[in-house]
């Protein structure tokens, strides 16, 4: 291992173990910092996992409460984000099971799930329109694919987790993760292409 890689790995380990120690103490300042640090990544993951912004907001708060309560279970051996996504995912599944006894797949069958509204940025006018169109297309395509594929696709391509990390979060074998990614991306490509053609024709 070269020096840079050694320091990188050691730095990551020490940060993870510092977080683990802070979580065992239930340090509120550490939790404030973690909420700030992971706010967008966690929220985006929950929005795409549930397909519902309001529900994602509720689950966002509940996830951090659970992090506070079960922080002692984080061992600091993996990245904190991997553990955080696993907590959020389990909480979402628990919530949906309580609401009605369904699997993660069934979330896509809910007619009420509209694609989440992207936030407007402020570049050039034509760029705004194009960005907005692209964002709406990809959001709609993402919501339309089965939840277990969406889960893998979002974790891999939006949140940048490795295949092994996704396997840890979803508690699935590596082969299943690979197959979900492949199927999810294939469906997304097909629906994104279909959506683009429709928009151009319109």
Partner 1 sequence: MTRDVHDQARELIALQHGFSVAENKWLQAHLDECPSCCEFAEAADRVVRSLRSLPIAADSRLVRATQMRVRFHAARLRETRERMWLVGMACLGVGISASLSVPLLWRLFAWMGQQAGVSSAVWQVGFACLWIVPALVAGATLLVRGTHVTNHGKGQCEL
Q: What is the binding site for partner 1 (CB under 8 A)?
A: 26, 28, 31-32, 35-36, 39-40, 42-44, 47, 57, 60-61, 64-65, 68-69, 116, 118-121, 131, 134-135, 137-139, 141-142, 153-154, 156-158, 162-163, 178, 181-182, 184-186, 188-189, 192-193
CA distances from 116 to 45, 78, 91, 121, 186 (A): 12, 30, 20, 15, 21
Cβ at position 60, least distance to partner 1 in Å: 6
Secondary structure (3-state) at 114: coil
Cβ at position 101, least distance to partner 1 in Å: 25
Return d(Cα 144, Cα 146) in angstroms, integer. 7
Cβ at position 104, least distance to partner 1 in Å: 19
Return d(Cα 104, Cα 89) in angstroms, integer. 10
Nearer to partner 1, 10 or 72 (CB): 72
Return d(Cα 41, Cα 49) in angstroms, integer. 12
Nearer to partner 1, 3 or 200 (CB): 200
- From the list 130, 184, 134, 132, the residue with the least C-alpha distance to 154 is 184
**Residue 77 CB partners (closer than 8 Å, separation 6+):** 16
Nearer to partner 1, 17 or 179 (CB): 179
Nearer to partner 1, 14 or 189 (CB): 189
Nearer to partner 1, 42 or 96 (CB): 42
């Amino acid at each position: 291992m070269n020096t840079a890689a050694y320091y990188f790995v050691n730095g990551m380990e020490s940060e993870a173990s510092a977080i683990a120690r802070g979580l065992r103490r239930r340090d509120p300042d550490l939790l404030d910092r973690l909420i700030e640090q992971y706010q967008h990544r966690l929220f985006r993951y929950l929005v795409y996992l549930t397909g519902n912004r309001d529900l994602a907001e509720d689950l966002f708060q509940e996830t951090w409460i659970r992090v506070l309560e079960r922080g002692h279970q984080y061992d600091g051996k993996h990245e904190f984000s991997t553990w955080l996504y696993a907590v959020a995912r389990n909480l979402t599944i628990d919530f949906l099971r309580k609401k009605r006894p369904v699997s993660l797949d069934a979330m896509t069958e809910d007619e009420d799930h509209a694609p989440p509204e992207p936030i407007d940025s402020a570049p050039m006018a034509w760029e705004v329109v194009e960005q907005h169109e692209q964002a709406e297309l990809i959001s709609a395509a993402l919501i339309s694919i089965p939840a277990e594929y969406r889960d893998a696709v979002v974790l891999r391509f939006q949140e940048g987790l490795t295949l092994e990390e996704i396997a840890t979060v979803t508690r699935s074998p590596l082969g299943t993760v690979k197959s979900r990614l492949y199927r999810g991306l294939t469906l997304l490509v097909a629906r994104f292409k279909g959506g683009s053609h429709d928009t151009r024709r319109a």
